[in-house]
């Protein structure tokens, strides 16, 4: 029987266990989207994970969602990440950069540019800006000729990531951001080749993954998806058909993995497991879920066919989460108020479990 603590070969990358640290926004980057020494310490503290996937990293300035997030769209940013990858590797870890283009989930006060999207449909709710939350603006719809440029932005960032020492990249295709917006049936109202039918709605995702694969190789490329998500107001018609078609196209590219959030009914996700011939990572507790992922949920999804299990919130307050899961030690709670406040408090101040005599 497969366990969380069995080793795994991920497209030739040897993982000592099947625990993945999921990407989580922490908003600790320096001005200019630079990675910092504190970020290097944070990720190195969690290097016992089989694989770390970083917080979302914008592949272009227009793709930035929140203040304080890091980038990989210029040379200074790439150089700043070397301290992070070097620290993780020195501690025996493996790390992928998540490439996150926000699309319409942005604001000109954050990025300095008007946000873009598949159509002129705003996200639901308020977006974070340097001056506080503001209503999501109506995005500028991309012209057909512009769309490939945004697909290529993932490839350009992927090259910088590999040059900076990352073991690979994960394209953020989930949670209502740009790839997810193109997949959506209410954020994407296009009538050109990037909209309408299922083949049109999946086209941008396939082109983005294809560009990254061409840039850095299939073994260094993964994608995260959230079938049926409603985050930021997206909706998806025909979820099973949409994602089955997407996985069929992605399978031709042979990426290192698909990372699914458990945002759809279990039977839909199990069907996608059967349809996907490659490595599957499952996150049992998607963003906004009332309960964070635990050993019970992880074991269940391993039994349902997942190869790797990702944990998000559990890693915030538990840098030694793998050992706590292995030995049944208590999982420490995190202080939600410090998730995005900046600084080292609630970031580097969580310790490994302290055994008492």
Q: Which domains does the chain have, with CATH numbers?
A: 8-338 (3.20.20.70)
What sign results for the dihedral spanned by CA atoms 110, 116, 118, 120?
Answer: positive
Residue pair 87/37 in contact by the 8 Å Cβ criterion: no
Positions in the chain short of pLDDT 70: 286, 288-290, 356-357
SS3 of the chain: helix, strand, coil, percent, to 5:
35, 15, 50
Confidence (pLDDT) at 289: 65
Contacts of 295 (CB under 8 A, 6+ apart): 4, 325, 328
Confidence (pLDDT) at 288: 64
- What distance in Å separates the CA atoms of residue 314 and residue 299, rounded to the nearest whole number? 16
Confidence (pLDDT) at 1: 83
What sign results for the dihedral spanned by CA atoms 141, 146, 151, 153?
Answer: negative
Phi, psi (5° rounding) for residue 51? -150, 135
Does pTM top 0.95 for this prediction?
A: yes
Length of the chain: 357
Confidence (pLDDT) at 256: 98
Helix (H) or strand (E) holding 295: helix 295-303
The catalytically annotated residue of 42, 154, 177, 194 is 177
Helix (H) or strand (E) holding 257: strand 257-261
- Catalytic annotation present for 350: no
């Amino acid at each position: 029987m497969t366990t969380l603590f069995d080793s795994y070969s991920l497209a030739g990358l040897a993982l000592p266990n099947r625990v993945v640290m999921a990407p989580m926004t922490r908003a600790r980057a320096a001005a200019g989207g630079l990675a910092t020494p504190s970020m290097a310490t944070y990720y190195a503290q969690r290097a016992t994970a089989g694989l770390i996937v970083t917080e979302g990293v914008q592949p272009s300035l227009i793709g930035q969602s929140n203040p304080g997030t890091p980038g990989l769209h210029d040379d200074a940013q790439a150089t700043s990440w070397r301290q992070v990858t070097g620290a993780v590797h020195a501690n025996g870890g493996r790390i992928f950069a998540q490439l996150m283009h926000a699309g319409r989930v942005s604001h000109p006060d954050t990025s300095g540019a008007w946000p873009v999207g598949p159509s002129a449909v705003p996200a639901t709710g308020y977006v974070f800006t340097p001056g506080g939350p503001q209503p999501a603006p109506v995005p500028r719809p991309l012209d057909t000729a512009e769309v490939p440029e945004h697909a290529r932005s993932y490839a350009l960032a992927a090259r910088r990531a590999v040059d900076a020492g990352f073991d690979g990249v994960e394209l953020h295709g989930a949670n209502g951001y740009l790839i997810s917006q193109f997949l959506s049936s209410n954020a994407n109202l296009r009538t050109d080749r990037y909209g309408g039918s299922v083949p049109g709605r999946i086209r941008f995702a396939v082109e983005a993954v294809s560009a990254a694969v061409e840039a850095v190789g299939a073994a260094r490329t993964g994608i995260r998806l959230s079938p049926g998500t409603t985050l930021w107001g997206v909706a998806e018609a025909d979820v099973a058909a949409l994602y089955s078609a997407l996985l069929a196209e992605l399978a031709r590219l042979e990426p290192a993995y698909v990372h699914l959030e458990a945002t759809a009914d279990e039977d839909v996700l199990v069907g996608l497991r059967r349809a996907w011939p490659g490595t599957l990572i499952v996150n049992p507790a998607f963003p906004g879920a009332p309960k964070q992922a635990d050993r019970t949920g992880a074991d269940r999804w391993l039994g349902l066919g997942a190869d790797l299990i990702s944990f998000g919130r559990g890693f915030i307050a538990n840098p030694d989460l793998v050992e706590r899961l292995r030995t049944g030690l208590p999982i420490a709670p995190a202080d939600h108020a410090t998730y995005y406040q900046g600084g080292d408090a609630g970031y580097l101040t969580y310790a490994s479990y302290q055994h008492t005599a």
